[in-house]
Amino acid sequence: MPTFCANLTMLFTEYPLIERFGAAKDAGFDVVEILFPYDNPAQEMRSALIKHDLKMALINTPPPNWAGGDRGYAAIPNGEKRFQYDFKRTLRYAQLLKPTHIHIMAGRAKGAVARATFIENLKWAAMQAPKQSLTIEPINPTDIPGYFLHDFDQAAEILDAVDAPNVNLQFDAYHAHMITGDLPATWSRHGHRAVHIQIAGAPGRHEPDIGDIDCAGFFKQIDADGYKGFVSGEYHPKGRTVDGLEWVKL
């Protein structure tokens, strides 16, 4: 059985962010993640982690402005200085929150120059934080049109080019289904690179057990393959979060 994680950006939104830590613990989670923690004091979140005996699985970088903003800078030509600035900011948060992983977002870009920029920025980040696990994640073009990293084969090729032991794959089952239409086969091809999993139902991005994804079968598949990382629920609940947690019992 996987170790499940609650994405506090999307789950328990009935509460202010700082109260979601306790709500997640009360619901049975020992691990949480936050997409963009930068609008809240890091020390306040660290205190909430300690108070509720929680571990932080992952935070994203960059940027802090998710609503209406760009989806990262790592693949944006001539955006290296902004990427480096934001990455250093994330490392300051990581010193207190101690996330297992930092997800580096590529941003909207295309072409050979964007690919070269992404690879060089990933190499730079890996050297800046050699003991920190860093991840990249393919995102489907329906949810974020124009996002540079939009394919799992593309991600594998980039990881090989970066060739850094602390840069690996973040495998989102929802995006895998949306991109390929075949989650089990995509995992079979690329799951050996995965250090973190996120899951949601597809279509709709609601509870993982709603929709076309066989999440019980997927959990059995990753267990059989010996996956030891976290599986984070990153979805929009159809109602109150606690009323839709049957998926963690599958």
DSSP codes, 129-165: STTSEEEE----TTTSTTBS---HHHHHHHHHHH--T
In the residue annotation, 157 being an active-site residue is answered as no
- pLDDT tens string 158-204: 999 999 999 999 999 999 999 999 999 999 999 999 999 999 999 99
pTM of the full predicted structure?
0.96
Query: Among 137, 157, 207, 246, which one carries the catalytic annotation?
Result: 137
pLDDT of residue 34: 97
Q: What span, in angstroms and rounded, lies between the C-alpha atoms of 17 and 32? A: 12
What one-character DSSP code corresponds to residue 108? Answer: B
Compute the C-alpha angle 68/65/177, nearest 5°: 70
Q: Is the dihedral of CA 12, 149, 134, 86 positive or negative?
A: negative
Query: Among 19, 157, 207, 234, which one carries the catalytic annotation?
Result: 234
Helix intervals (H) in the chain: 17-26, 42-51, 80-97, 112-128, 152-162, 173-180, 183-190, 215-224
- pLDDT tens string 104-122: 999 999 999 999 999 999 9
In the residue annotation, 44 being an active-site residue is answered as no
Length of the chain: 250
CATH number of 3-249: 3.20.20.150
- Tokens 């962010």 belong to 17
